[in-house]
């Protein structure tokens, strides 16, 4: 089985721009979660999607949004980028988001200039 795939692997943007990150979960997995990883804050939960619905959300501003498509692929969007948004963004998938553990992708490293 192919693992969780995130694209692109690296992105460089400037302040004020917006960005869209993509995540393809493991085949059959319907739950997709997003995390932000920074040296200062560690791994922080952004949101979780299941069957195209956001079920859970972390404490991030509204500039961070996401969506999930009918094939379970998910995208995350960050608008009006700030320097502090520089981070590794990780996507994780699981079958239902209930009792199974999550499987993580390699992440997208976003750098804001």
Partner 1 sequence: AQRVTQPEKLLSVFKGAPVELKCNYSYSGSPELFWYVQYSRQRLQLLLRHISRESIKGFTADLNKGETSFHLKKPFAQEEDSAMYYCALKTSYDKVIFGPGTSLSVIP
Interface with partner 1 by CB under 8 A: which residues? 3, 31, 33, 35, 42-45, 48, 50, 55-56, 58, 90, 92, 94, 97-99, 101-107
Residue number, 56 or 80, with CB nearest to partner 1: 56
Which residues have CB under 8 Å from 57's CB, separation 6+?
46, 47, 48
Alpha helices in the chain (DSSP H): none
The smaller minimum CB distance to partner 1, of residues 65 and 79, is found at 65
Residue placing its CB nearer to partner 1 in the complex, 57 or 63: 57
User: Closest separation between CB of residue 106 and partner 1, Å?
Assistant: 5
- 68-105 core/surface letters (b: 16 or more CB in 10 A; e: else): beeebebbbebeebeeebbbbbbbbbbbebeeeebbbb
CB of 112 to partner 1, least distance (A): 23
Shortest reach from residue 31's CB to partner 1, in Å: 5
The minimum distance between CB 11 and partner 1, in angstroms, equals: 18
Dist CA 69 CA 59 (whole Å): 23
């Amino acid at each position: 089985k192919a693992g969780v795939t995130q694209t692109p692997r690296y992105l460089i943007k400037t302040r004020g721009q917006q960005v869209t990150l993509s995540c393809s979960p493991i085949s059959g997995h319907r739950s997709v979660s997003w995390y932000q990883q920074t040296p200062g804050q560690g791994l922080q939960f952004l949101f979780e999607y299941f069957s195209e619905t956001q079920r859970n959300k972390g404490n991030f501003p509204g500039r961070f949004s996401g969506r999930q498509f009918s094939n379970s692929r998910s995208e995350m969007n960050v608008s009006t980028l700030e320097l502090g948004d520089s981070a590794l963004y990780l996507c994780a998938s699981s079958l239902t988001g209930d009792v199974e553990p999550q499987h993580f992708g390699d992440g997208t490293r976003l750098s804001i200039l």
